[in-house]
């Protein structure tokens, strides 16, 4: 997969729901939702965007980075992270 490649929503949505399910199980997550082109139901999707609401002081990013399908962390900070999954898809959480 190239960085500019887009995939049909039907292929990406199940992966996004898998990641979302993982995020919702993280201790301290009050709510999480899929955002971006998936939420807007675009025909094609370039990456997976997930927005997270969390309890104050919860280290959500560190826990997210333990998702077993992550191949590499592209960037990480206290309130956001971008990762590439083993499938090549990029996931951004904020």
- Domain definitions of the chain by residue range: 7-93
Largest CA distance in the chain: 37
Residues 6+ apart with CB under 8 A from 81: 61, 64, 65, 73, 75, 92, 93
The token pair that represents 77 in the structure block: 């900070």
Residue 63's nearest CA partner among 93, 31, 18 is 93
Residues 6+ apart with CB under 8 A from 77: 61
Which pLDDT band, with edges at 50, 70 and 90, does 57 fall under? confident
Note whether 89 and 11 are within 8 A (CB).
no
CATH entry 3.40.50.300 includes domain 7-93: no
Q: What percent of the chain is predicted at pLDDT more than 70?
A: 96
pLDDT score at 58: 85
Mean pLDDT of 59-78: 96
Q: What percent of the chain is predicted at pLDDT more than 90?
A: 91
pLDDT score at 66: 97
């Amino acid at each position: 997969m190239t960085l500019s490649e887009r995939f049909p929503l039907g292929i990406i949505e199940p992966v996004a729901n898998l990641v979302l399910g993982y995020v919702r199980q993280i201790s301290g997550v009050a709510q999480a939702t899929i955002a971006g082109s998936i939420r807007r139901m675009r025909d094609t999707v370039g990456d997976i965007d997930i927005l997270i609401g969390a309890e104050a002081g919860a280290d959500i990013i560190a826990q997210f980075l333990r998702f077993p399908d992550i191949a590499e962390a592209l960037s990480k900070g206290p309130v956001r992270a971008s990762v590439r999954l083993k499938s090549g898809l990029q996931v951004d959480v904020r």
